[in-house]
Amino acid sequence: MRVKGGMGPPRFDKEVPVQYMLLDYVREEGWTALTKVEQVTWLGAYKAYLEAMAEAGVLKHSLGLHPTASATTLRTVEGDLQVLDGPYADSKEQLGGFHLIEAPDLDAAIAWAARCPTVRHGVVEVRPVMNVDLATLIQQIQGSDT
């Protein structure tokens, strides 16, 4: 077993990396209220953040979403499909983008999430991602039933 140094009991090096989704929740009206200079500063901060994650090899994917004014929500109400304008949750902060990262454990994921500029003006949610893709998972569940 390979172990890392440091204090206390050994820490396992042979870890299966976990993927985490860092979900950025932001107040949309906040962006338009900023001055041009402030917007440039924030964009610079996000760019630096993405570069740092890419440099460290943790970033798998990162995407921003158009504002919720462009969102459409679908659900079934009493058997009928309902298509509505607007986002699902009517909350102060809205999902604005996400970063898919790979980290050895939650502490490492939290360390990356804490560096996200969104933490300074919004909320970042850290969610572990399932280790297998959905299609494989469904196949396995179907297989175990028979």
If phi > 0 it is left, if psi is from -120 to 50 it is alpha, else beta; for residue 78 that is left
Nearer to another protein, 13 or 85 (CB): 13
What is the b/e burial string over 90-108, where b = at least 16 CB atoms within 10 angstroms of the residue's CB? eeebbbbbbbebbbeeeeb
Considering only residues 37, 74, 130, 135, which one is a binding residue for another protein as defined by CB under 8 A? 130
Q: Does 105 bind another protein (CB under 8 A)?
A: yes
- Span from 9-17, 28-36, 50-58, 72-80 in contact with another protein (CB under 8 A): 9-17
d(CA 99, CA 77): 33
Nearer to another protein, 7 or 74 (CB): 7
Contact 124, 118 (CB under 8 A): yes
- Span from 54-62, 66-74, 77-85, 135-143 in contact with another protein (CB under 8 A): 135-143
Q: Does 50 bind another protein (CB under 8 A)?
A: no
Contact 72, 84 (CB under 8 A): yes
Q: Does 106 bind another protein (CB under 8 A)?
A: yes
Q: Phi then psi for 29, rounded to 5 degrees?
A: -70, -15
Considering only residues 27, 110, 115, 121, which one is a binding residue for another protein as defined by CB under 8 A? 110
Q: Does 134 bind another protein (CB under 8 A)?
A: no
Tokens of residue 79, six digits? 């058997």
Q: Total residues contacting another protein (rule CB under 8 A)?
A: 26
- Beta-bridged to residue 77, according to DSSP, are 80
Residues that bind another protein (CB under 8 A): 1, 6-12, 14-16, 18, 104-107, 109-110, 126, 128, 130-132, 137, 140-141
